[in-house]
Amino acid sequence: MSLRDGCILVTGGAGYVGSHALVELLEAGYSVVVLDNLSNSTFGSVTRVQEMTGKSIPTYNCDLCDKKGVEDIFSKHKISGVIHFASLKAVGMSVEIPLIYYRQNLIGTINLLDVMKEHGVYNLIFSSSATVYGDPKYLPYDEKHPTGGCTNPYGRTKHFIECILRDLYATDKVCPLSNYAVFVPQQTFVFTAKTPCHYLDSGSLLSIITDLCIVDSMSSAPAINNPSN
Ligand SMILES: O=c1ccn([C@@H]2O[C@H](COP(=O)(O)OP(=O)(O)O[C@H]3O[C@H](CO)[C@@H](O)[C@H](O)[C@H]3O)[C@@H](O)[C@H]2O)c(=O)[nH]1
């Protein structure tokens, strides 16, 4: 199934970055479905996106820790790819309530990956964070900077998820990724110019995007379908 034959599931799509991604995806001609537990947002943002674009967006108030709820969404919609923004993301709070961060971010992501596999969906863009780099060995960070050594639980959840995704990519007996998969670890600064749509159009099957400048990328919307940008 080509990506455009189905919908892109945007987890955390009601959030700040996720809702901007919706606009880009819709304007690039993708159909989208939103999953969000509304822990840090409302569906008002999605309503505004629908008003702006004139396109309708199925929305689900669903927590990724509710695996059955996630399965229901995959059963209702022909999902061809996922952009995974849903995440608790406050560094300070993650120090105060680490278990909640580990449960929401790690178990939620593992549930998502399980359900994707059950439904034969292997196209994923993961929204990571510059916190995976830990204390800088040099500045500015670039894609070659080592990850790990994170200084807080939030960063560790993102780092662990990157590790999980690398393992899945490496063991394609477990997770049958196509040979033409493009694995893009730590695309820290590329994302400013290259939107999620670029990655989808380039056939990325498992991409990790570290740190996001997607909101800025709104001004470079013409780059969406131009892989040379
Ligand atoms: O378990 C959870 C936790 C959060 N959310 C939702 O996820 C969205 C996250 O968006 P927001 O809180 O506005 O954060 P952003 O600034 O958009 O965070 C983006 O940028 C962060 C890095 O700065 C990444 O960690 C995040 O994954 C990415 O969404 C919100 O709608 C939340 O309601 C869920 O659906 N499930």
- 30, 101, 154, 169: which is the annotated catalytic residue? 154
Percentage of residues of the chain with pLDDT beyond 90: 43
Question: Which pLDDT value is given to residue 93?
Answer: 98
User: Average pLDDT, stretch 179-194?
Assistant: 31
3-225, which class in CATH?
Answer: alpha beta
User: Average pLDDT, stretch 117-123?
Assistant: 84
- Per the listing, tokens 């919307």 go with 221
Query: Which of 17-31, 46-60, 74-88, 171-185 has the weakest average pLDDT?
Result: 171-185
Asked whether residue 227 carries a pLDDT value surpassing 60, the answer given is: no
SS3 state of residue 100 = helix
Its ipTM equals: 0.99
Q: How far is the CA of 179 from the centre of ligand 1 (A)?
A: 31
**Cα separation, 166 vs 183, whole angstroms:** 8
**Cα separation, 120 vs 83, whole angstroms:** 15
**Percentages helix, strand, coil for the chain, rounded to the nearest 5?**
45, 15, 40
Question: What predicted TM-score, i.e. pTM, was given to this entire model?
Answer: 0.84
Query: Which of 106-115, 139-148, 171-180, 192-201 has the weakest average pLDDT?
Result: 171-180
Residue with CA at minimum distance from ligand 1 atom 35? 36
Q: Give the mean pLDDT of the chain.
A: 76
Ligand 1, pocket-test mutation among 9, 10, 17, most atoms within 8 A of CB: 17
Say whether 154 is catalytic: yes
- List beta partners, residue 81: 8
Helix axes 44-53, 16-27, angle to 10 degrees: 20
DSSP character at residue 224: T
Asked whether residue 209 carries a pLDDT value surpassing 50, the answer given is: no
**Cα separation, 209 vs 225, whole angstroms:** 18
Q: How far is the CA of 93 from the centre of ligand 1 (A)?
A: 14
> Over the stretch 13-39, which tens digit does the pLDDT of each residue have?
999 888 888 988 898 889 999 999 999
**Ligand 1, pocket residues at CB < 6 Å:** 12, 14-18, 36-41, 64, 85-89, 104, 108, 127, 129, 212
User: Average pLDDT, stretch 90-112?
Assistant: 97
Domain boundaries, the chain: 3-225
Highest mean pLDDT: which range of 41-55, 128-142, 146-160: 41-55
CB 198 within 8 A of CB 227: yes
User: Average pLDDT, stretch 141-149?
Assistant: 75
Residue with CA at minimum distance from ligand 1 atom 16? 16
- List beta partners, residue 10: 34, 83
Query: Which of 25-29, 101-105, 122-126, 199-203 has the weakest average pLDDT?
Result: 199-203
Question: Which pLDDT value is given to residue 129?
Answer: 78
Percentage of residues of the chain with pLDDT beyond 70: 71
Q: How far is the CA of 83 from the centre of ligand 1 (A)?
A: 12
Residue with CA at minimum distance from ligand 1 atom 29? 85
Nearest atom (ligand 1) to Cα of 14: 31
Q: Which of 72, 69, 50, 25 is nearest to 224 (CA)?
A: 25
Q: How far is the CA of 66 from the centre of ligand 1 (A)?
A: 17
Phi, psi torsion values for 121, nearest 5 degrees: -105, 120
Asked whether residue 53 carries a pLDDT value surpassing 80, the answer given is: yes
Question: Which pLDDT value is given to residue 221?
Answer: 29
Query: Which of 46-50, 150-154, 163-167 has the weakest average pLDDT?
Result: 163-167
